[in-house]
Structure 1
Amino acid sequence: MLKGAIEYAPSTFEERGAAVAFTTPLLSQTRVRRGERSKLEVLIPSLSQGMGIYVVAWKAVPEMVSMTMHDRYLHDLIVKEDACAPHEIRRATLKAARRGLAGPKAAQAARHALEEDEEQGTLTHYLLILSILKAVGLESPEMLKAGIDTDEGQRLTRQLMTRAAESLRMDATLLYSRLAEIAAVAAPVGLARSPKPGRLTRGLTDLKGFRDSLTDWAREVPSDAAPVAAFCAEVAQHTIGIGEKVLGDFHRRIEAIGPLMRDWDSEIVRVRAQAGRMAWLLDGWSHITGAWEVAQTEDHHQQAATVNDLFRILPLLPRKESSRDFVADSKQVKLAHRRSVRMLEDWRTGQMDMDAIRRIEAVKARAP
């Protein structure tokens, strides 16, 4: 059921919803959330007004919009899995892309992302084992030399972990189980001392590059879209500031692995909450940073069109996450946005825009 356009100022991340990487231009980065009676609904940004939102029952979307094959499959998958959190939506997106429905490059990127997730999980688990052994004074050069993926390395690891569990006064099976649980939570973020940063930490770094690039563009390129670009960079900066604090707290709690094991019931809840908050903070930004990077190969006219598209889907922080009211601030930017959109209105049509679809697929061809 269509609920109509609203001025959207969500209080929480859950109310804001999770961004969905559709390839149909009108639906690109629309957000799904739980609505009345816990039924899924989608929030569709208005094409021309920037911050207007249409609230539509999720199951009604295919009847309203002409969707690509990829999007129909992804839509059905989200309904089937009843997904509306960032990690659930990402998993469904990778499943859809892996089938090749968004092109061979997107399929390859999805397979690579899934492989990288598995490798990151293994690396995180290994580093946590080293961390717990160090915490109880059982560092082993022999284990490191043998390597954890060899029979000898695994034998030494089991011996040392049994002794570590005794030192912590807990069952070895429980210690292994808890480390596996921490690894599953921590892998998307990454550990502070990891030789390879996690996906969300890389996302925060990408966001810093986006902020810097867009700030320079707004200053150097004469365009009606310049104030819009500056606003997007400001929202990015505010998100970065909060993200760095969340990341610092997350890493401190993981590094204090002894207290984490000792006060497990309360600490794992906090660790899980911080990891989830990082995912929500960065939700929707990977498409934006990727789209802007793709736009760097295009002329200023198309870059201005990209800036206006990004403004329309900008992940504004919910009220409970920020003291800054970006929804109110954005009202001043809307005038510049409308002027810029009118200047570029030949780029925006309500029909199936094949060039726009190709640009979206180019973003999906980057590792999600």
Structure 2
Amino acid sequence: MVRGAVEYAPSTFEERGAAVAFTTPLLSQTRVRRGDRSKLEVLIPSLSQGMGIYVVPWKAVPEMVSMTMHDRYLHDLIVKEEACSPNEIRRATLRAARRGLAGPKAAQAARRALDEDEEQGTLTHYLLILAILKAVGLESPEMLKAGIDTDEGQRLTRQLMTRAAESLRLDATLLYARLAEVAAVAAPVGLARSPRPGRLVRCLVDLTAFRDAMADWARTVPSDAAPVAGFCAEVAQHTIGIGERVLADFHRRLEAIGPLMRDWDGEIVRVRGQSARMAWLLDGWSHITAAWDVMQAEDQRQQAATINELFRILPLLPTQESSRDLMEESRHVKPAHRRSVRMLEDWRTGQFDIDAIRRIEAVKARAP
């Protein structure tokens, strides 16, 4: 069942796996990936004071760990859908939380997040229609005044989009289909000129605030956890730097909407790739930033314990994405206290760590 504990420095995002928001403390933010023969497997880090991980077949996890009802349902969803990317895992997580299995606040947050996803998709699609009309010189004050959600607005939109398709030498149906595909790809990130940033851009903003908070904590709090906080700030900064470059390229390609429609086969692959890269890059960080927000009302001792917990699940960049070996650097950072030791003891005795579960559920209540 367990392949063993190994030194783990993934070379790609896919090898690192996607973080799963389980509520069972031992499994919280463990990662799922495709292993041998494309079978799903879970990576369970820091089962002891060592730096290794356990690689466990996904279907065997319930046999190995006592799981909450929420986690069993989420586990079954992932097995059935063979979800493995960050976006797929997030959708499965929201579906599980929406059922109330992680508490009423988490259910409300999940429903709110799903509604916001739908609204963001609609907004992105609308803005892309305006962008394509502007690109071919067909801006229409009448359409804007009528509103795209009215019968008159839709009639004007169809009329103008037919003319836009002719200008681009495309079939109108094909143009609509391409815009819909771009909207689906772009919505999680958001457009540069959107009045509401996309979910991943908001995550990048939250990560910037977390970086500043960790750097400040490391500088001002006399604690054994200060070097750990400093390392968290460094990893966050490195992630932000790459994220900002990916985001700039993504927005630049979407701004050139006309060339994107014309040179479709090559450009859509690049746009889709940059959107996916943003999702992989920021995967796991929303839990970390929310967990730190929850700790703001606590004393420095509890904050230090949380920083050491976050170090255990820090999303280190794969070697192909980073010019620095953050995995090697992390080996020189010594957390003063590893909550994972107590988690292991709870796992072996079959007892749930109720306080830890409640903290995780409080984080899920803030989930984007």
- For the aligned pair, the TM-score class normalised by the smaller chain equals over 0.9
- Residue 296 of structure 1 aligns to a residue whose secondary structure is helix
1:23–1:361 CA contact under 8 A, matched in 2? yes
Q: Partner of 2:356 in structure 1? A: 356
**Deviation readout 1:94-137 (Å, 9 max, x if unpaired):** 01000000000000000000000000000000000000000000
Listed as ranges, the gaps of 5+ residues in structure 2 are none
Which residues in structure 2 correspond to 1:198-217 (within 5 Å)?
198-217=198-217
Q: Partner of 2:185 in structure 1? A: 185
Cα RMSD, aligned residues only: 1.4
1:19–1:30 CA contact under 8 A, matched in 2? yes
**Deviation readout 1:57-86 (Å, 9 max, x if unpaired):** 111111111110000000011001011110
Aligned pair 1:60/2:60, yes or no? yes
Q: Partner of 1:228 in structure 2? A: 228
Q: Partner of 1:12 in structure 2? A: 12
Aligned pair 1:168/2:168, yes or no? yes
Q: Partner of 2:271 in structure 1? A: 271
- Residue 195 of structure 1 aligns to a residue whose secondary structure is coil
2:26–2:343 CA contact under 8 A, matched in 1? no
Residue 349 of structure 1: CA displacement? Answer: 5.1
Residue 166 of structure 1: CA displacement? Answer: 0.6
Which residues in structure 2 correspond to 1:1-368 (within 5 Å)?
1-49=1-49, 51-333=51-333, 336-337=334-335, 339-341=336-338, 350=346, 351-368=351-368
**Distance in 2 separating the partners of 1:347 and 1:29:** 13
- Residue 297 of structure 2 aligns to a residue whose secondary structure is coil
Deviates more, 1:214-223 or 1:244-253: 214-223
Counting matched residue pairs gives: 364
2:287–2:363 CA contact under 8 A, matched in 1? yes
User: Which amino acid counterpart does residue 152 of structure 2 have in structure 1?
Assistant: E
Q: 1:121 to 1:67 in 2, by over 3 A?
A: same
1:112–1:367 CA contact under 8 A, matched in 2? no
**Deviation readout 1:318-341 (Å, 9 max, x if unpaired):** 0111111001111111xx31x344
- State the identity %: 83
User: Which amino acid counterpart does residue 67 of structure 1 have in structure 2?
Assistant: M
User: Which amino acid counterpart does residue 89 of structure 2 have in structure 1?
Assistant: I
2:17–2:31 CA contact under 8 A, matched in 1? yes
Q: 1:346 to 1:129 in 2, by over 3 A?
A: closer
User: Which amino acid counterpart does residue 268 of structure 1 have in structure 2?
Assistant: I
**Distance in 2 separating the partners of 1:365 and 1:330:** 30
Residue 138 of structure 1: CA displacement? Answer: 0.3
User: Which amino acid counterpart does residue 268 of structure 2 have in structure 1?
Assistant: I
**Distance in 2 separating the partners of 1:111 and 1:296:** 25
2:191–2:198 CA contact under 8 A, matched in 1? yes
User: Which amino acid counterpart does residue 34 of structure 1 have in structure 2?
Assistant: R
**Distance in 2 separating the partners of 1:59 and 1:224:** 39
**Distance in 2 separating the partners of 1:291 and 1:367:** 10
**Distance in 1 separating the partners of 2:342 and 2:136:** 66
User: Which amino acid counterpart does residue 177 of structure 1 have in structure 2?
Assistant: A
User: Which amino acid counterpart does residue 164 of structure 1 have in structure 2?
Assistant: A
**Distance in 2 separating the partners of 1:80 and 1:345:** 32
**Distance in 2 separating the partners of 1:49 and 1:10:** 20
Residue 47 of structure 1: CA displacement? Answer: 4.0
User: Which amino acid counterpart does residue 59 of structure 2 have in structure 1?
Assistant: K
**Distance in 2 separating the partners of 1:9 and 1:39:** 20
TM-score (norm 1): 0.97
Q: 1:264 to 1:96 in 2, by over 3 A?
A: same
User: Which amino acid counterpart does residue 196 of structure 1 have in structure 2?
Assistant: R
- Residue 44 of structure 1 aligns to a residue whose secondary structure is strand
**Distance in 2 separating the partners of 1:111 and 1:347:** 30
- Residue 331 of structure 2 aligns to a residue whose secondary structure is helix
TM-score (norm 2): 0.97
Residue 346 of structure 1: CA displacement? Answer: 7.5
User: Which amino acid counterpart does residue 98 of structure 1 have in structure 2?
Assistant: R
Q: 1:84 to 1:216 in 2, by over 3 A?
A: same
User: Which amino acid counterpart does residue 239 of structure 2 have in structure 1?
Assistant: T
Residue 50 of structure 1: CA displacement? Answer: 6.4
**Deviation readout 1:133-172 (Å, 9 max, x if unpaired):** 0000000000001100111111110110011011111110
User: Which amino acid counterpart does residue 220 of structure 2 have in structure 1?
Assistant: E
**Deviation readout 1:274-332 (Å, 9 max, x if unpaired):** 00000000000000000011011111111111111100000000011111100111111
**Distance in 1 separating the partners of 2:341 and 2:74:** 30
2:343–2:353 CA contact under 8 A, matched in 1? no
Residue 221 of structure 1: CA displacement? Answer: 1.0
Listed as ranges, the gaps of 5+ residues in structure 1 are none
**Distance in 2 separating the partners of 1:109 and 1:22:** 16
Q: 1:144 to 1:191 in 2, by over 3 A?
A: same
- Residue 51 of structure 1 aligns to a residue whose secondary structure is coil
1:51–1:312 CA contact under 8 A, matched in 2? no
**Distance in 1 separating the partners of 2:229 and 2:298:** 16
Deviates more, 1:196-205 or 1:217-226: 217-226
Residue 237 of structure 1: CA displacement? Answer: 0.3
